[in-house]
Amino acid sequence: AQSVTQLGSHVSVSEGALVLLRCNYSSSVPPYLFWYVQYPNQGLQLLLKYTSAATLVKGINGFEAEFKKSETSFHLTKPSAHMSDAAEYFCAVSYQTGANNLFFGTGTRLTVIP
């Protein structure tokens, strides 16, 4: 099955600490990968996307993600957490053939501790 797995439904970090949110995909074809962020009572906002160009992708708000084919991973990182980063983060995958929709992970809620 084609899907994404987000390890850890909740992650807590201290303000200023490294943020690492994990995403692994299962795919038989090269994937297109996305990270979305959802702030409370808002819709999802695109953070960054991988579309087979550079494997290290930089997004908004200082986030970046690296596509590692050997590990089938697309983990999201930020060197220094800010209080405003507290939100829910979703990894999603789309494919070159057939599918017209994104398959989302179950999300990781990030808490930033002052």
Could you say which of 24, 51, 72, 77 contacts other proteins (CB under 8 A)? 51
Could you say which of 41, 56, 70, 84 contacts other proteins (CB under 8 A)? 41
Region for 83 from its dihedrals, namely left if φ exceeds 0, alpha if ψ lies in -120 to 50, beta otherwise: alpha
Of 7 and 18, the one with the shorter C-beta distance to other proteins is: 7
Work out whether 107 is an interface residue with other proteins (CB under 8 A): yes
Return d(Cα 101, Cα 61) in angstroms, integer.
26
Apex 35 CA angle, 59 and 16, nearest 5: 60
101 phi, psi to nearest 5 deg: -135, 165
Site residues (CB under 8 A) for other proteins, limited to 74-103: 90, 92, 94, 96, 99-103
Q: Which residues bind other proteins (CB under 8 A)?
A: 9, 32, 34, 36, 41-46, 49, 51, 90, 92, 94, 96, 99-107
